[in-house]
Chains A and B, each alone.
Chain A
Amino acid sequence: AQTVTQSQPEMSVQEAETVTLSCTYDTSESDYYLFWYKQPPSRQMILVIRQEAYKQQNATENRFSVNFQKAAKSFSLKISDSQLGDAAMYFCAYRSSSLTNFGNEKLTFGTGTRLTIIP
């Protein structure tokens, strides 16, 4: 079974600065997807960014980028120019890419990192 580990329960960053959230995972599969979800105080889960394991290029979405290290099974999220609206819980998640069996569509989540933005 796959596992996802987020070792930083809480992080804080000064507004306009850059912060990196860590995520490691364990899997025996060679192809899969990785995601970062944001959960603000409203508790609505919002997809921030995704990465396909077969792609070597790191995904980028505006101020959000990832550092995907497949051999190290590491998937960190970098937030540049941090804004007050970035304050939230951030969850790393894993999903198998195989469509051959029911159940592979499920997401396996880490325990989350609470990010605080300091004005």
Chain B
Amino acid sequence: DGGITQSPKYLFRKEGQNVTLSCEQNLNHDAMYWYRQDPGQGLRLIYYSQIVNDFQKGDIAEGYSVSREKKESFPLTVTSAQKNPTAFYLCASSIRLTIPYYEQYFGPGTRLTVT
């Protein structure tokens, strides 16, 4: 079955440590996205990537980094510079370029808790 996988579902880290969240898709989608979800704030875009080896900052990129070495993978690193890293993180992907509309498909998310 095609889809997006995020691992792990729950992640715990000590303050000051970097942590990498995994996102893999087998939908052959070009674009991938990382969103952060906090209670009462909806989803906010962290980073997105249209093609391999290219990515752009979203609305809240500070304290985060990404890479896009493969079309299928878009890992997100939460660095120690992120002041409030505890949140629910969602990865999404979509086709782009050739059609005017395309849906974003979401993964199941990773709940990160930093203490």
Interface residues of A (CB under 8 A from B): 4, 9, 33, 42-47, 50, 52, 91, 97, 99, 102-103, 105-107, 109-112
Contacts and interface: CB of A to CB of B under 8 A. Distances in A.
Given A52-B101, A105-B50, A111-B42, 13 more contacts: A4-B42, A43-B108, A44-B106, A46-B106, A47-B103, A50-B101, A99-B97, A102-B50, A103-B56, A105-B48, A105-B94, A106-B58, A112-B42
Interface of B: 31, 33, 40-45, 48, 50, 56, 58, 88, 90, 92, 94, 96-97, 100-104, 106, 108-109
A50 B103 contact: yes
Per DSSP, chain A at the interface is loop
Contacts of B103: 47, 50
Contacts of B43: 45, 91, 107, 109
Contacts of B101: 33, 50, 52, 97
27 contacts: A4-B42, A9-B40, A33-B101, A43-B108, A43-B109, A44-B106, A44-B108, A45-B90, A45-B106, A46-B106, A47-B103, A50-B101, A50-B103, A52-B101, A97-B101, A99-B96, A99-B100, A105-B48, A105-B50, A105-B94, A105-B96, A105-B102, A106-B33, A106-B45, A106-B58, A111-B41, A112-B42
